[in-house]
Amino acid sequence: MSGAEGGEDVKPVARGGQRALMGDGAGSRQTPFWICSECGNMLHPKEDKAQRVLKRVCRNCKRTDLAESNLVNVNDMRPEARAVDQGADTIKDPTLPRANNTECGSCGTMTSVFFQAPMKQDEGMKLIFMCTNCAYKWKQ
């Protein structure tokens, strides 16, 4: 199963032997970053032209596995797909401007952070405010 350039048959490794790190985003279309169970480095996609399969190879220890899917990368250009989800940790970002005169519709706190909302071509600029107390979001 490891180091397979010299004619060895490579068999898929059970999911328990590997770890996949997933980001937030496009759900089933999100490409995972596979981590080598031997040394902890990232596994990189590599085409096996002879067997016509996609493999994942560790550049450090040369471990090789078959990929479960032929999906390597997804670049979705739709505006709604490119929108970055702002989590509750956004309120801790010291680089974001703060507003002290906007009332939260959820808890009534007067302090919030704000940032520009992703726009479509036919929309004007909108700001997203996020309460520093309860992380409630609203647009203005």
The rounded distance, in Å, linking the Cα atoms of 2 and 61 is 8
Assigned CATH topology for domain 1-76: N-terminal domain of TfIIb (2.20.25)
The rounded distance, in Å, linking the Cα atoms of 140 and 65 is 50
- For residue 44, which amino acid is it? H
**Helical (H) or strand (E) element with 89:** none
Measure the N-to-C terminal CA separation of the chain; round to a whole number of Å. Answer: 56
Give pTM, 2 decimals. Answer: 0.41
* Domain coordinates in residue numbering, the chain: 1-76, 79-139
pLDDT number for residue 72: 76
The rounded distance, in Å, linking the Cα atoms of 21 and 42 is 10
Q: One digit per residue, pLDDT tens: the chain, 140 residues?
A: 444 444 433 334 434 444 454 444 444 455 567 888 889 898 888 999 999 899 999 999 999 988 887 777 777 677 665 445 667 788 888 899 999 999 999 999 999 999 887 777 667 788 889 999 998 999 88
Whether domain 79-139 has CATH 3.40.1000.10: the reply is no
